[in-house]
Structure 1
Amino acid sequence: MEIILKVVGSVFLVAIALASMVAIYVGGENVFHSHNDKKGWAFVGGGVIGIILFISIAVYVTPRGMDNSEHCGPGTEYRESRHYNPSTRSTHTDWWCEAK
């Protein structure tokens, strides 16, 4: 289910970016031919708003490094251990809170 949501979200983001670029292009063409064309300026403005929306959503959903030490309470220390798993060819990290 998580993968489906990620795919739907990615398609949504790409659709926002594509629609914004098309709106800017179409509006720019109208404005280029007639500077007083309100419809053209509306398309350009909507496209710019869409690009801003795309960038803000993309920055918000981009994963950042997680700090698991915030889960440890007072009187405990954060510890972690990494080990390589040859069968999956990846590194696995275990972490725990240890009493001081």
Structure 2
Amino acid sequence: MAITHPQGMRPQMPAAARMAATRSPVLSTRVLPALAVVGATYAVISYVRNELGREQSNFDKMFAQQNTPEVMAARKRHLLIEANGDPRNNLLNILGWTK
């Protein structure tokens, strides 16, 4: 059995509930997808930055073990650094620009 109300006596929703009902579609259709994209982008960038930092520290440890004074002296003799200059300081050495 359905409850019927007289014409002007229909119960009204509170104002706060009406505003929440009108805001939620805007929130779910515009804001949430944008937040999902920003969150996913941040996660990917953080992961890549973390992996690059880890790899850099691994390479730094590896090269620190190999760059002993004996190895550097042999390198100077082999590459004729005193006559031709150090190839690590060459303008075309893009990888060495950060140091």
TM-score normalized by structure 1? Answer: 0.31
Greater helix content: 2
TM-score normalized by structure 2? Answer: 0.32
Which structure carries more relative contact order (alpha carbon 8 Å, separation 6+)? Answer: 1
